[in-house]
Chain A
Amino acid sequence: MSMLDALRIAVRAIVANRLRSLLTLLGLVIGVSSVIALIAVGQGTQKGVSDQIRGLGTDLIFIEPSAAATTQQGGTTALFTTTLTQADAYAIAANGNPAISAVTSHITGDVQAIAGANNVGAESVFTSSNYAEVRDLEVAVGSFIAPQHDDAGSLVAVLGSRVAETLYPGVDPIGQEVRLSFLAGRVVFAFTVIGVLQEVGGVADANDQVFVPITGLANRFRFLYTPTGDLRVTQIDVQATPGADTEELKQQVTDLLLFRHNRTDPDFTIESQDDLLDAASEVANTLSILLGVVGGISLLVGGIGVMNIMLVSVTERTREIGIRRAVGATAKDIVNQFVTEALALSVFGGIIGIVIGVVASLLVDGRQLGDQEMTTVIQAWSIAAAFGVSAGVGLLSGIYPAWRATVVDPIAALRNE
């Protein structure tokens, strides 16, 4: 019997049992499409997180108070326990290290931003003029904090795009007054808006932040100073010169800070962007694998469905097998017939699954899910793997029923009418 004849017989049998074939296909379609879509979501998440970390700037090293020093995380509390100071940042910059292109430091704290009748919860970033450059932030209107604001300790504010939209719908925010309420409303200061940032893609925080010169607040909040008169900061960002060895730079900065803090074990953590990327992609990879496994399980269930249907089909078609044997079909012909049928089902299901998986991935890409934007990256290997597994599962699940078909005794089969 030729392959074409085997295929024709298989297609006829599939079409003859339309509903049953459709339900069998459904299992495979769901399996293949979920593998493709879930892996696309996993990979998209990985890309999203990576983009976000890269979006923080280029060649950055982040220094933060160590976990022990900030047992109670969150803006203002971390402030009272931090051992990092603005003087540390100046010392790093003053080192004259050619591997360093810029150093900035900041304090973050939760604030309520109020303008007229509008108000919004935001994160305040007390920083200095070089923050925008280090963090690659672009201003949409107005300007960022300028060096003269640093020097004068001006009460000016630059708003993240979402903060500006909420506070000044349809109004030019430049020159307007924004009041920032600190420490749960105990302290309120008024600032003049001098700029609004461009919207940042992904799930970046900058859209929900308000930037003000650290000097302006330091003059008013004495507790921002350590007993020895240094200004506390909750984060120092070091921008490395492009091409510099960030691992070596990390070590140099660590040594400097240990010396300044007079310690042997660090009271801070120091991480490069690469460290963050590694950690994030590890998490995202785990997510990808998890999603892939979920998809794989549904594919397996789909495959078992094919086996089940083929077994039913063999039992139901005992008479047909008997007739075919009587007119000269060999055991091999019968195996071919059932394997071809299972394979045709699973290849067809695989193709539909690929189409649905790809379309679903494309539809989900860029959609908002809660406050998260979904990103999907369709992987060619996931398509190949899903299709391969579905065809393989189809083949395997066809072989056992096909073998069962060959042991059907033609005489008994013909009597079974």
Chain B
Amino acid sequence: MIRLDSVRKTFTTGDTQIHALDGVSLEIERGEFVAIMGQSGSGKSTMMNIIGLLDRPDEGAYLLSGQNVATLNEHARARLRGTAFGFVFQSYSLLPRMSALEQVELPLIYQGVRDRRRRAAEALVRVGLADRIGHRPTQLSGGEQQRVAIARSLVVDPLVVLADEPTGALDTATGHEVMTLLSDLVDQHGMTIILVTHEPEVAAFADRTVRMRDGQIIEDTGASSDANASRAEPTT
């Protein structure tokens, strides 16, 4: 479903060039729960931003469900981003002064979906926040806020949920709860989740771990055969 082919991304800071992604090839199938691990600066966040269409590669191909999306214009990427991806960030990324229900409605507003309220409420029920619908971020615990963010990522029925350090701001017990919720989504609803983390305990929830260093994939525990092939024989 997701296929990266020899993707490169270089950032220039002053005189130094940083190869955030240095020829990365990766394939992820529907229903997979993949953890991307690596130290900070390893390129894992850059890869997630590229997968989530928040950033575009300098070189290489990115096929999403067979369509090359690396060359889409900004408008098309924004539209696709809204429908194909759900984001969960470390710091919840909720808007202040909005109720949980309104937070979850937000992606639907930009898609012009009707019946927003019902769908948003359903998503909140799915993450176990049926009784927190009217609460604002300041009235919710960290774990609850992250659940609202997860509900917001689910409400558009995305192809993939991208979670960037979703437990980073939570204590161990709450982090565990959030990870259990994500696992359930994969197991029970067939959701595809890509998780970025540097904590092995969190990565352990995933079915497959991709380890990165210096912009390259150095280990992949469950890569599909196609991805292995493309890595063995770079197509560039």
A331 CA to B106 CA, complexed, in Å: 16
In the complex, which residues 85-142 of chain B have their Cβ closer than 8 Å to any Cβ of chain A? 87, 89, 91, 93-97, 106-107, 109-112
B106 cross-chain contacts in A, Cβ below 8 A = 323-324, 327
B74 cross-chain contacts in A, Cβ below 8 A = 330-331
A324 contacts B49, CB within 8 Å?
Answer: no
A323 CA to B93 CA, complexed, in Å: 6
B78 contacts A329, CB within 8 Å?
Answer: yes
A323 contacts B156, CB within 8 Å?
Answer: no
A411 CA to B156 CA, complexed, in Å: 21
A327 contacts B112, CB within 8 Å?
Answer: no
B30 at the interface (CB under 8 A from A): no
Tell which of A2, A5, A327 has the most Cβ of chain B within 10 Å: A327
Do most interface residues of chain A lie in helix, strand or loop, or is the interface mixed? helix
A332 CA to B91 CA, complexed, in Å: 26
In the complex with contacts A320-B95, A323-B93, A410-B54, A328-B112 CB distance below 8 A? no
A410 CA to B87 CA, complexed, in Å: 12
Closest CB in chain B relative to A82 CB, distance in Å? 80
- How many of chain B's residues have a CB under 8 angstroms from any CB in A? 27
B55 at the interface (CB under 8 A from A): yes
B189 at the interface (CB under 8 A from A): no
A323 cross-chain contacts in B, Cβ below 8 A = 93-95, 106
B25 at the interface (CB under 8 A from A): no
B83 contacts A328, CB within 8 Å?
Answer: yes
B93 contacts A330, CB within 8 Å?
Answer: no
A58 CA to B47 CA, complexed, in Å: 89
B107 contacts A327, CB within 8 Å?
Answer: yes
B3 at the interface (CB under 8 A from A): no
B78 contacts A331, CB within 8 Å?
Answer: yes
A179 at the interface (CB under 8 A from B): no
A328 contacts B81, CB within 8 Å?
Answer: yes
B93 contacts A5, CB within 8 Å?
Answer: no
B107 cross-chain contacts in A, Cβ below 8 A = 327-328
B82 at the interface (CB under 8 A from A): yes
B55 cross-chain contacts in A, Cβ below 8 A = 411
A2 CA to B87 CA, complexed, in Å: 23
In the complex with contacts A326-B87, A327-B106, A331-B75, A12-B93 CB distance below 8 A? no
B112 contacts A326, CB within 8 Å?
Answer: no
A417 at the interface (CB under 8 A from B): yes
B54 contacts A326, CB within 8 Å?
Answer: yes
B79 cross-chain contacts in A, Cβ below 8 A = 328, 330
A171 at the interface (CB under 8 A from B): no
Interface residues of B (CB under 8 A from A): 49, 52, 54-55, 74-75, 78-79, 81-83, 87, 89, 91, 93-97, 106-107, 109-112, 152, 156
Interface residues of A (CB under 8 A from B): 1-2, 5, 12, 16, 319-320, 322-333, 410-411, 414, 417
Instruction: Give 12 CB contacts A-B under 8 Å.
Output: A16-B96, A323-B93, A323-B94, A324-B106, A324-B110, A326-B81, A326-B93, A327-B82, A328-B82, A328-B107, A331-B78, A414-B89
